Structure 1
């Protein structure tokens, strides 16, 4: 019986990671099919991003990927998008007076500027006493997440790639040089190589393919939009606590986006905000600024998935080279995606990293480090 679909490479997951790597592989001449379990791509983590580019975010291994992605995001090739995906925002790292060495975790090479107390208060109106130390990161930008994701999907289809939605992988087995794939709805397919870009479901997908899981942990992140009793919020920079207890940024003239910076372990799921996390976020906001919260206009949650060492995993499984890991980007997958996908493509094709990934090292990302 003929399979319902066949490709050189099947990519499980059509969020920003699967879409980007799939587009790169299709551009290299491979026949690519994305399998998306939801009715539309980007429903989970990609569609619930806080939508900022912050070079210092994600740690020392990820920061070079983010930095290398900036030029592409600002001015992508004309055949990819007629416009860029970044717009000005700026960030401020703030610390309580009692915290010692508050900015020690900022990766070296990130351009920053110390702020004296007066300057800090002018940039964060209503700042309470006890928060006199600030570090500006002017390069922080907002990202057009939906536009970037759609551009990758469009690039994929222009190069002959395909996407199947409502296409949850039920199981896959490898024999005779091919993957035999069965979807939850009964459809069947074949592929010579399988890419696991399933985000929070990465370990589950591995188990369904007979591959040893790596120990990925999905973590819930809560976000909310608040209306406050102060005007002029739209241009407010991203303000992040160096202790990892909150971050917020302007959204509208009287609204902000706020997160308690939570990382709550959970099973892969359609994440929903918990009332306790919302209340904690509002309480923490009140410790730094004197604004009154007039209304919680909306709230949501997404999943950020980490490997055991919190660095992304790009590379072939040591026990099954026809299975390629592309997961664990831990909330940095959008801001670092141009370089990350280019680097993963080089690993997949056994090439030297070039273009936006030129000069980047693969060492920190290969799955061999867990074996």
Structure 2
């Protein structure tokens, strides 16, 4: 049996980032079901920090987290992003621009000619992109480096990770929680942090805690070759404001997604033929790139709360049980802010400086907002 002050289920970016913070306040033990950390969502993200996704709270946590990434050149490099609209979706572009500009003064409206200069492959003009929003200050994150960094920080403070430890049972004890993994080993701690991603509601059910209605959604990405002779390294991370396409240059190839959100059960997500074909179709619809070969394909789960704001906080119905879930598609870019909030909520440190001023409080991310109201 192993004992800890903080027992964390889930070795993705959320769990490891929280572990790195909590390790300054006691012994941290992370249980990861897979043989490697970051195996599911954290390791399958395109890992880009920008203001085009999520609502106000997500953008606020994205803004707060930027300093963490920029302080370590190994974690991120500056890379631009571009949202574009056709005539039909132009009103959505204007609304997005207003929302993004609340957190950055670098958002630049661009016309069709500028879009063509930024990304020559995009179709512009009649039937194509007529306007866009360009952010030259986006950050391309290195997901693997980030996972290694927070794991290293945690270990330097005495914390540890046990991979290959899928949870078999959870029970409340008089002063905390006892978890038995599938190897038969038990682990106890007064605080149990549920950072199990798509499996977080199932972990709660094992502990006898009411679920909060998490929704795993599958997203598909394909990798294709660029046009012969094209210099794609300087192309931005391109998104349709309609929310049905993105394209990112990476290592000499193009990562493409139909921005799908397909309902799925917690699983080792795999791409389906329809979604692969849809990604290729969207690429050929929005750009002049012809898909002659799909070099690689994968899928990952993005798990959302009902209001699409990540949640962190103690469960009202289970003392010592702490929710850290629902990171959606923004877990990497908001991880530093969420981890600092977790430290405050569990260890009693001051609320992260500047986060409340950006509009994020304990109530903003607390799990009680997700409970169904009592009937009658």
**By the TM > 0.5 criterion, same fold?**
yes
With the length of structure 2 as denominator, give the TM-score of the two structures: 0.92
Aligned to 1:6: 3
After TM superposition, give the deviation of residue 247 of structure 1 in Å: 0.5
Question: In structure 2, how many angstroms separate the alpha carbons of the residues matched to 1:207 and 1:122?
Answer: 52
CA RMSD of aligned residues (A): 1.5
Query: What are structure 2's unaligned runs of at least 5 residues?
Result: 372-376
Aligned to 1:365: 365
Matches within 5 A, 1:58-73: 58-73=54-69
**3-state DSSP class of the match of 1:310?**
coil
After TM superposition, give the deviation of residue 95 of structure 1 in Å: 0.6
Question: In structure 2, how many angstroms separate the alpha carbons of the residues matched to 1:319 and 1:341?
Answer: 23
Task: Please give the per-residue CA displacement for 1:54-113, whole angstroms capped at 9, x wherever unaligned.
Answer: 12322211101000111111114xxxxxx4411121011001112241221342333311
Aligned to 2:170: 172
Question: In structure 1, how many angstroms separate the alpha carbons of the residues matched to 2:83 and 2:163?
Answer: 40
Aligned to 2:192: 194
Q: Select 1:21's aligned residue among 18, 21, 26.
A: 18
With the length of structure 1 as denominator, give the TM-score of the two structures: 0.93
Aligned length: 360
CA contact (8 A) 1:193 1:323 kept: yes
Matches within 5 A, 1:189-268: 189-230=187-228, 231-253=230-252, 255-268=253-266
Greater CA deviation, 204-213 or 172-181? 172-181
After TM superposition, give the deviation of residue 175 of structure 1 in Å: 2.4
CA contact (8 A) 2:305 2:370 kept: no
**3-state DSSP class of the match of 1:294?**
coil
Greater CA deviation, 132-141 or 261-270? 132-141
After TM superposition, give the deviation of residue 37 of structure 1 in Å: 0.4
CA contact (8 A) 1:198 1:205 kept: yes
CA contact (8 A) 2:63 2:103 kept: no
CA contact (8 A) 1:339 1:356 kept: no
Matches within 5 A, 1:324-343: 324-343=322-341
**3-state DSSP class of the match of 2:120?**
coil
**3-state DSSP class of the match of 1:334?**
helix
More helix, by proportion? 2
Question: In structure 2, how many angstroms separate the alpha carbons of the residues matched to 1:314 and 1:354?
Answer: 14
CA contact (8 A) 1:217 1:265 kept: yes
Question: In structure 2, how many angstroms separate the alpha carbons of the residues matched to 1:140 and 1:333?
Answer: 16
